[in-house]
């Protein structure tokens, strides 16, 4: 446990360093944005923030394997210590000055999530979790919501803007959830959405197309906060297996309700 906490502290130092940089960076002019795919942008700010994270981690643990959004392998490598990094989750929000973006860093030890940090850049708020040690918002322990009735639930989501072939399925799911819950929110940073599930602000969450660096830290936060996060087939390994990286999350009751509802679409 002490070793996991040390990994959390290192991830937090790296996330805060990157967050400070992004917070002080000027928003790049639109003509400098690199469009990696449709509506999927990257800038020098993303790459510089990732460089700061890599530098911070490698200085302390030089034999680490680091997987980042801008490094983007097709599958997660194996290794004793693998870091999964998103230096700027919510790049489009950042580029438009919409204040919802974060740094997300997770660490796998022997293939299992052991440490996770999500740093909310705009609010200067940090979420941390170590395997077996609970989840925290700054120094306050957090837990998933106690809502068990769908009609009272606030559900988070993300649009499949990188995978428009999923749009019709998603719209069917959206209609079903909207008809059963009290509301749906989409703010544009999956890392912060998952942190909000862990903190009980959202009762459940689903998205059909995500990468490991979008999910990893938030998944550990939710589990350590007493919640459940799985693939749509109910499998617990959210970092591998589903070809689209789809996830469903929430407290135990709302996760089961949402999973069952989505399966009918």
pLDDT in tens, the chain (265 residues): 569 999 999 999 999 999 999 999 998 888 777 766 555 577 889 999 999 999 999 999 999 999 987 665 555 666 689 999 999 999 999 999 999 999 999 999 999 999 999 999 999 999 999 999 999 999 999 999 999 999 999 999 999 998 999 999 999 999 999 999 999 999 999 999 999 999 999 999 999 999 999 999 999 999 999 999 999 999 999 998 567 889 999 999 999 999 999 998 8
Where a domain ends, among 89, 122, 141?
141
Q: Looking at the chain, which runs of residues are DSSP E strands?
A: 34-37, 40-42, 65-68, 81-89, 102-109, 112-120, 125-130, 135-137, 140-141, 154-158, 183-185, 204-207, 228-230, 247-250
Cβ contacts of 68 within 8 Å, gap of 6 or more:
50, 53, 54, 84, 85, 86, 87, 213
Number of structural domains found in the chain = 2
Q: Is the pTM of this model over 0.85?
A: yes
Task: Return the pLDDT at 73.
Answer: 54
Where a domain ends, among 114, 141, 168?
141
Distance CA 199, CA 213 (A): 20
Distance CA 85, CA 104 (A): 6
Same domain, 123 and 186: no
Same domain, 170 and 98: no
Distance CA 255, CA 229 (A): 7
Same domain, 114 and 132: yes
The CATH number assigned to the domain holding 67 equals 3.30.540.10
Where a domain ends, among 116, 141, 166?
141
Distance CA 6, CA 109 (A): 13
Check: CB of residue 52 under 8 Å from CB of residue 198.
no
Cβ contacts of 136 within 8 Å, gap of 6 or more:
127, 128, 129, 142
Distance CA 194, CA 190 (A): 6
Domain span at 112 = 2-141
- Which helix (H) or strand (E) element contains residue 138? none
Task: Return the pLDDT at 241.
Answer: 59
């Amino acid at each position: 446990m002490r070793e996991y906490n040390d990994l959390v502290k290192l991830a937090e130092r790296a996330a805060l360093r990157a967050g400070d940089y992004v917070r002080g960076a000027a928003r790049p002019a639109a003509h400098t944005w690199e469009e990696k795919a449709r509506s999927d942008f990257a800038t020098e700010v993303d790459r510089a923030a990732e460089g700061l994270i890599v530098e911070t981690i490698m200085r302390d643990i030089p034999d680490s394997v680091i997987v980042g959004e801008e490094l983007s392998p097709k599958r997660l490598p194996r290794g004793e210590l693998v870091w999964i990094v998103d230096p700027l989750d919510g790049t489009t929000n950042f580029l438009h000055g919409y204040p919802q973006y974060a740094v997300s860093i997770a660490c796998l030890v022997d293939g299992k999530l052991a440490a996770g940090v999500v740093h909310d850049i705009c609010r200067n708020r940090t979420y941390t979790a170590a395997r077996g040690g609970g989840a925290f918002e700054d120094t306050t322990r957090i837990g998933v919501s106690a809502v068990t009735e769908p009609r009272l639930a606030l559900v988070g989501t993300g649009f499949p803007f990188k995978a428009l072939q999923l749009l019709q399925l998603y719209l069917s799911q959206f209609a079903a959830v909207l008809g059963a819950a009290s509301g749906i929110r989409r703010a544009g940073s999956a890392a912060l959405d998952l942190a909000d599930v862990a903190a009980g602000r959202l009762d459940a969450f689903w998205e059909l197309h995500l990468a490991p660096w979008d999910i990893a830290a938030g998944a550990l936060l939710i589990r350590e906060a007493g919640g459940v996060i799985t693939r749509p087939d109910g499998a617990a390994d959210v970092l591998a297996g589903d070809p689209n990286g789809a996830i469903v999350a929430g407290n135990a009751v709302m996760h089961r309700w949402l999973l069952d509802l989505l399966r009918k679409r």
